[in-house]
Amino acid sequence: MNSVNNVINISVVKDFHNKPKGRYADDAPGCEKTAGEVFRKNILLDAINNYEKVIVDLSGYNRYGRSFLDEAFAGLISREGLTKDVLDSKLEVKHDSVPKFLEIINERIEAAENKRLNHE
pTM score, whole prediction? 0.95
**Sign, CA torsion 89/33/58/74:** negative
Bridge partners (DSSP) of residue 93 are 56
Residues 23-57 pLDDT 10s: 999 999 999 999 999 999 999 999 999 999 999 99
The pLDDT value given to residue 63:
97
Q: Which residues lie below 8 Å from residue 73, measured CB to CB, with a gap of 6+?
A: 36, 40, 44, 87, 91, 93, 105, 108, 109
Domain ranges of the chain: 2-118
End-to-end CA distance of the chain: 35
Residue 120 has pLDDT above 80, yes or no: no
